[in-house]
A and B are shown apart, each in its own frame.
Chain A
């Protein structure tokens, strides 16, 4: 298991916190919470060691499109970059949904 963090300047607000996914084979869990500072902060724990550069690339791409002021907590159980990108898009969609 490896743990690491990344931080990017950002300013867009999100509506509410959101959660998606499970820590199951090839999947991951994301907790997305509004941040008080003008950054997107990613805190990751992953079962697959040695892929920091790939995580960085996925996050840079995400932040370039969605500069949200938020804390993103990720518990990963070997998700591929494609799955990570998909889950990030999903959790952001939930966070910006109007509450019923």
Chain B
């Protein structure tokens, strides 16, 4: 039988090919000309749909919306407009489903992750997309396709990991950190980005399917995609991978991080429920996260058995609260996560203790507040991390934080140190309220300057120049503030050695943030700075609402 390649189709053609004939209606089509306002000032030609197609229609007679990312435009990178198109559409689909109208979301991932030219917009909006997916999964299966060309990377690999069902071809790659970035950050001995065999054996479709990190591996054929989606829709729902905390933690305990593992070993680890618990020394490495965790909990000892993640239950302003911090541990088993990075174990341990709070409070009238103390230098860049699926570790934490909000826990974050990339998505960006210290050493960003320059093929100097034109590309907390996601910037605090006055001022702001008892991420678009800093995000959502029904 003749095959029709799905991969070779462009984003719009892919959406039309999947939907029933003549049923497709595009929302925010190219003639609406809602393009990125951030590219032209950097000398980059924009696209009239910002590389994102929202197609409403019928899939085999059922109402569906296809969100198709154009990988050929800027590598499918998520900027403010295209990201808000995904988030805004998912929020409408959620609304429809909540009203009892069943609409199935199908996301076609063809993306390198955050669009580095719009850096922090990408991070913020990816967390909003993730929040919507976690909420939607309670109503309908959220179906993700990774057909190939770009594959799915970065923050969007964490997003894909949250889908109810993932469908991939052998020609696609799926991982948190791209090979070039791992090589740049960790060295060529950790990952050789020119070793194609190594790349495909680690993050290729076949490898992912065999390890059990995707559900269906199919041929590059339009009909095969339709059949796979249909079987995903009709399948009985199972426990999402991102909620299988014990299974993944067991596997991570069995892996020997000192040597390069293999796919066969990972498959074995994931299928063996009994596990050794290796002893992990606690070097108690100093960090801001550790300092502020101690300060805000009045030195309450951590209840987590894992020294890289601190967890304490305290009474904070007369209410129960669980404080959580990721901290460095020079003696960590995983060498790529000794500086406080969110690695495999950190992500899953975060998920474990957030879920524990949700379960313990399930029948309580008052749900404890959850406070993320944020000081994370990055996600862990390493071969074993990619092989074992570090995007799933980050997604597990995202899932847990978002679920906590849905179950009525206030989730707030306080940025005391760096808040970077996948680590920030996993620990911090699911907070409905964020506050931060106004400190010049704090960095908020999607990728180090060296890696960002390499990936966007610009010199460091050209990159520095661009950050002056686009606040979202800048690395400092004051520019981040202009994007509207922070409730407040707290001035005149010695972030490394805080005095009693500073601690009480931060505690007071934290109390205010908790008092709002907001369980959504909506506030970010309502703050004073957001009106300007997130103008396109607001506009996109308004236009989607106008055209939706």
Query: CB within 8 Å of B: which residues of A?
Result: 1, 17, 19, 22-25, 27, 29, 31, 33, 45-47, 73, 75-77, 100
Which residues on the A side are within 8 Å of B48 (C-beta)? Answer: 19, 29, 31, 73, 75
Query: CB within 8 Å of A: which residues of B?
Result: 10-11, 22, 29-31, 40, 43-48, 51, 70, 72-74
Which residues on the A side are within 8 Å of B40 (C-beta)? Answer: 1, 45
A100's closest neighbor in chain B, by CB? B22
Which residues on the A side are within 8 Å of B44 (C-beta)? Answer: 1, 47
Which residues on the A side are within 8 Å of B31 (C-beta)? Answer: 17, 19, 31, 33
A selection of 7 A-B contacts at a CB cut-off of 8 Å is A22-B47, A22-B72, A24-B70, A24-B72, A27-B72, A29-B47, A47-B45
Tell whether, in the assembled complex, residue A45 and residue B45 are in contact, meaning their CB atoms are under 8 Å apart.
Answer: yes
Given A23-B73, A75-B46, 13 additional A-B pairs, CB 8 A: A1-B40, A17-B31, A19-B48, A22-B10, A22-B47, A29-B30, A29-B47, A31-B30, A31-B31, A33-B31, A45-B45, A73-B48, A75-B45
Tell whether, in the assembled complex, residue B30 and residue A25 are in contact, meaning their CB atoms are under 8 Å apart.
Answer: no
A21's closest neighbor in chain B, by CB? B10
Which residues on the B side are within 8 Å of A75 (C-beta)? Answer: 45-48
Which residues on the B side are within 8 Å of A77 (C-beta)? Answer: 45
Tell whether, in the assembled complex, residue B45 and residue A76 are in contact, meaning their CB atoms are under 8 Å apart.
Answer: yes
Residue among B22, B44, B51, B72 with the highest chain A CB neighbour number at 10 A: B72
Instruction: Please pick, from A17, A23, A33, A46, the residue contacting B47 in the complex, using a CB distance under 8 A.
Output: A23
Cα(A76)–Cα(B168), bound, Å: 31
Cα(A77)–Cα(B31), bound, Å: 19
What is the distance, in angstroms, from A84's C-beta to the closest C-beta of chain B? 14
What is the distance, in angstroms, from B112's C-beta to the closest C-beta of chain A? 13
Cα(A27)–Cα(B72), bound, Å: 9
Tell whether, in the assembled complex, residue A22 and residue B73 are in contact, meaning their CB atoms are under 8 Å apart.
Answer: yes
Cα(A23)–Cα(B22), bound, Å: 26
Which residues on the A side are within 8 Å of B45 (C-beta)? Answer: 1, 23, 45-47, 75-77
Which residues on the A side are within 8 Å of B51 (C-beta)? Answer: 22-23
Which residues on the A side are within 8 Å of B29 (C-beta)? Answer: 19
Cα(A70)–Cα(B233), bound, Å: 44
A76's closest neighbor in chain B, by CB? B45
Instruction: Please pick, from A19, A25, A76, the residue contacting B72 in the complex, using a CB distance under 8 A.
Output: A25
Which residues on the A side are within 8 Å of B74 (C-beta)? Answer: 23
Tell whether, in the assembled complex, residue B30 and residue A24 are in contact, meaning their CB atoms are under 8 Å apart.
Answer: no
Cα(A76)–Cα(B73), bound, Å: 11
Cα(A23)–Cα(B48), bound, Å: 9
Cα(A44)–Cα(B528), bound, Å: 36
Tell whether, in the assembled complex, residue B46 and residue A23 are in contact, meaning their CB atoms are under 8 Å apart.
Answer: yes
Cα(A45)–Cα(B40), bound, Å: 9
A46's closest neighbor in chain B, by CB? B45
Give the 8 A-B residue pairs with the shortest CB-CB distance, closest first. A24-B72, A23-B47, A1-B43, A19-B30, A22-B72, A47-B45, A45-B45, A23-B73
Tell whether, in the assembled complex, residue B73 and residue A24 are in contact, meaning their CB atoms are under 8 Å apart.
Answer: yes
Which residues on the A side are within 8 Å of B43 (C-beta)? Answer: 1
Which residues on the B side are within 8 Å of A45 (C-beta)? Answer: 40, 45-46
Which residues on the B side are within 8 Å of A100 (C-beta)? Answer: 22
